[in-house]
Chains A and B, each alone.
Chain A
Amino acid sequence: MSPTHEAIVEDLADLYVIEKEVRSKPARERLGRMARRKTADTNGLRKATAAKMLGVSVNTLDKWIQRGNLAVVQDAKTGRELVDIRGFVPIFVKVRALRNAGQRDGILAAAISELEREDPEYKKSFAELYGTSLDAMAESRLKPVVVPSTFGPED
């Protein structure tokens, strides 16, 4: 039975972590070849799967894609936009580490923030992603749903 895409990402994440810890160049190259073999049959992850693995909505995932934090590729058969697995792995590694450390809220934002600190080229702040939505909430007069007091138990 073929491994699921989630299992492939988990393996790639482990390889990514090990590659960073290994000093030997031949060993790192070997790990790189292993990672490439893992993505030989597929280099794209469905957005729903990627979002689920990160614990965010597909809408949020699309926002990060639009801002260049996540690369996408096109499925050769369907033409559907998929998340590039190799670009996804570093973010997933961060998210997984934060979750294992017990963090529950704002994990994706924290992961992006750490990647930004570690890599000056890694862009976009949390506020830029969510700021528009905050303004939209205020402007659109959206409010929490409150059921009228006139409602009965079956209403």
Chain B
Amino acid sequence: MLVQPAELDPQIAALAGRRAGLQRRLRLLEHDPCDPELNAYRLSGPLQPIVCGLHLDRGYRLAFTTMSAPTADDRPRVVLLYVGRREAGHRSKADVWDLLHDIFGIDNPPAGHDKSPCCAEGEPTIEHDVLADFLRQLRRFNRGR
């Protein structure tokens, strides 16, 4: 199952009319977060075990992770974490990866990252307490916008 925090509604809604191809990627994610067509990759640095990113169209990016399946069908929940635009030149206040790292409260590694395939060593996973903290920070972030 594909899930999102309610706090991500504004970021998703902002893609209306942008032709970023989000719907198509969501269908693939829901079916299999390791689908090669997604070309998902691990983020570098401290988020490497937790977050995978993938390219949408027109410069947008999507970050996701997985959680243990809470139901008897033994499939993990794919959790959308953030979606936004990649800003050229990095270190921009609006850059999707800078924002994601800010919300997680950690430094974004410098450019020139080694983008290893998302599922080479299994799926990215997030612990409940880390996710809860991330969501608290995302709520604060949205209030400040």
Contact = CB atoms under 8 A, between A and B. Distances in A.
Interface of A: 47-48, 51, 55-63, 105-109, 126, 129-130, 132-137, 139-145, 147-148, 150-155
Contacts of A133: 67-70, 77, 128
Interface string B55-82: 0010000000011111111111101100
A154 B19 contact: yes
Given A106-B73, A152-B17, A145 B123 contact: no
B128 A141 contact: no
Nearest to B14: A148
B140 to A, nearest CB: 14
B103 to A, nearest CB: 14
A56 B119 CA distance: 14
Interface of B: 1-7, 12-13, 15-23, 26, 30, 57, 66-77, 79-80, 119-123, 125, 128, 131-132, 135
Given A139-B132, A141-B6, A142-B79, A106 B74 contact: yes
A57 B128 contact: no
Contacts of B5: 140-143
B125 A58 contact: yes
A48 to B, nearest CB: 5
Contacts of B16: 148, 150-152, 155
A151 B74 contact: no
Nearest to B126: A59
Given A151-B16, A155-B15, A155-B18, A107 B125 contact: no
- Chain B CB count within 10 A is highest, among A60, A109, A130, A144, for A60
A140 B136 CA distance: 9
Contacts of A151: 15-16, 22-23
